[in-house]
């Protein structure tokens, strides 16, 4: 699951998401898509 912690501190660059709470780092568009899917109730496999 991806963090859904909004805030400017989590976006060091436009295309990167880095959670200030847990350190999770990924492409911002990918994190956004995961959050939308999670809110829609879809079950997604965890891919590292």
Question: What is the residue extent of each domain of the chain?
Answer: 8-39
What confidence score (pLDDT) does residue 26 get? 92
Q: What's the whole-number average pLDDT of the chain?
A: 79
pLDDT tens-digit readout, 11-32: 788 899 988 888 889 999 998 8
How distant is the alpha carbon of residue 47 from its chain centre?
A: 13
Output phi, psi for 19, to 5 deg: -70, 125
State the pTM of this model: 0.62
Q: Which of 41, 9, 10 is nearest to 31 (CA)?
A: 10
Asked if residue 10 has pLDDT above 90, the reply is: no
Average pLDDT value for residue range 28-44: 84
């Amino acid at each position: 699951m991806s963090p859904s912690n909004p805030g400017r501190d989590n976006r060091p660059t436009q295309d990167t998401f880095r959670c200030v709470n847990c350190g999770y780092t990924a492409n911002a568009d990918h994190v956004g898509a995961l959050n939308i899917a999670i809110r829609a109730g879809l079950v997604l496999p965890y891919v590292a």
